[in-house]
Chains A and B, each alone.
Chain A
Amino acid sequence: MAARTVLRNEWRLLMADRALRIVLGLFAVLLLYALANGVVWLRFQERIVETVQTGNAERASAIEQELAAIANGAEPASRFSDPRDPYVLGGGRGTHTAVLTPGPLTALAVGQSDLLPYYYDVNIYTNESSFQQNGEVENPLNLMVGRFDLAFVVIYLLPLLVLALGYNVLSEEREQGTLALTLSQPVSARGVVVAKLAFRALLVVGMVLAASLLGTLVTGGFGSPGRVLLWCAAVVIYALFWFVLAAWVNSLRRSSAWNATVLVGAWLVLVVVLPATINIASGLLHPLPSRVQMVTAQREASNDAVNRRSELLARYLEDHPEMAEGVVADVTFSGALAWAATDAVNRRLEEVTGEHDARRAEQIALVRRYRFLSPALLAQEVLVDAAGTGDARYAGFQSQVRAFAERWRGFFVPAILAGEQMDASVLPDLPRFSLADEGSGDVARRAAVPLAVLGGLLVLVGAAAGAGLGRVRGAD
């Protein structure tokens, strides 16, 4: 079997080449380093998630105890923290923190998880401006540079290793004169190159997949096998893309030096220049709306609302006649009044942010079309998405928190308007946030197109390489 023979010979050649051994060893070290980094970050996030959840439980039990004490005749500690007051129970004191658990494969790709908030305090004051918050405390310099995670190694360094291993698979055989001897045997150039590259691909992809699976094993990511599968598929297709690119360049029958130059140039263009150019072009053609103007709009909305409190309450009750029944006749009742103002601000904020978000979504949809130009962008999208640290999962979390805040208000506002008091009997019914995390199917649906395009590129370049190699003969 010729392929096996070539593979064995390749193994020998690689092992005999000290420089290559060092490069491979270095790559393995980088993989492990990246993995360790990711695991440290995941553990950090897990610790914070636990802290946040403990906070929820502590607040709940403090409220439960005080309510029990009050039921037994004790006085509340302060009028402003009386848990019977729906303004208190649904407000700051009763705050429930909604948490997004770290993406199942965070250890492999930090993605947006260092930038975007992963927990929000929800109470009746939660509105659109509550979503304008920073995520984790992090040095902006570190955010700018980004993390040394497995996704970084795959997107940037893996192609370089592939090129270093593959730029001369054919050209070197010709330059050192072994090609004629090889092709005088009953084998085809295509077969030899495919076997040689297959061997290298096995080695490189094997190393990356081993590191990925090790990371998954260590962090329990096998709970989402679908994500692991998508991650592996993206790694394999992306790595193979670079291998077939190397094969294609080799099939052009130029010198090793020429191949190296062209491949490094291709890396630079596809991985560095194109993504950057795409971002610049999209920034010019489809600029994102500015948040700064939103701040001003929000401010104006709340000024307006504060100035027209009582008018707003009347309108609120018109809009929500079901609430009117319980409202205390005296409209100076501060709870209802304050709520009316809050609600008006919220509505106005929703309008302002709604417009902003719609424009932003439009621009991003346009920008996302350009990513098909760069395999690096496609691979990054799938890797980060599969890891559960991509934009979509965070957006999904945010909209769940939005719905949860709505539910929260729906629970407390009628009581506020009616001036009701609450007791321990409501505790079991208090809204609690439970994350409906996206399934592997959702991720797969999002990843299908980028993966298919990446696969298409692979097939296209692979076909060109196959055709080119078919023309290779011993006497070039």
Chain B
Amino acid sequence: MRAKAGVGALGLALLAILVFLAVSSWSRQPAAARPSVQPITFPHNVHVQTYKIDCQYCHADARRSEYAGLPSVARCMGCHKITAADKPEIKKLAGYAARSEPIPWMRIYKVPEFTYFPHKAHLRAGLSCQTCHGPVETMTTVGARTGPRLANDLLNLVGLRPAPPPVTMGWCIECHRRENAARGMHAPLDCVTCHH
């Protein structure tokens, strides 16, 4: 009995220390959520809503590859050689094109490196981009808050089952289960399908 109490006390002490460490650095925002960090302020809303450009016109690899892909500088310039060529942000773009330099976009979405996520299979299953990425068409600059969160972890720990945050494994699995049950899909639930 005493040993058990000792284990419990040790566990709680560890927990307290780690919670303190976690909370003390919790105030930070994901870097990607700050709009100014992208090298060019790219408004998704203008492209999608005003000009009705399909997501896959620019992210053309999504239907055939693991990666959704970014448009090449040449593809951007295909329109912007003429369209809005006088705007300061477009001039930045033209600068990259003239120097034959890639645009150093800031990465927003990333699954861990031990995870294999193919865009292709999800498009084939009829998913829309917004299912995972949110209403990108309304965003002036895409930001995302993804990944595990302390609040969820703590709630989980005390036995509550909060909804998993977007683009975490629990969230993926829930969707796979839901779709399999509701639409008779064959979304895999096997660990090694994504972790290999």
Q: Does B bind A? A: no
Question: Which residues of A approach B to under 8 Å, CB–CB?
Answer: none
Question: Which residues of B approach A to under 8 Å, CB–CB?
Answer: none
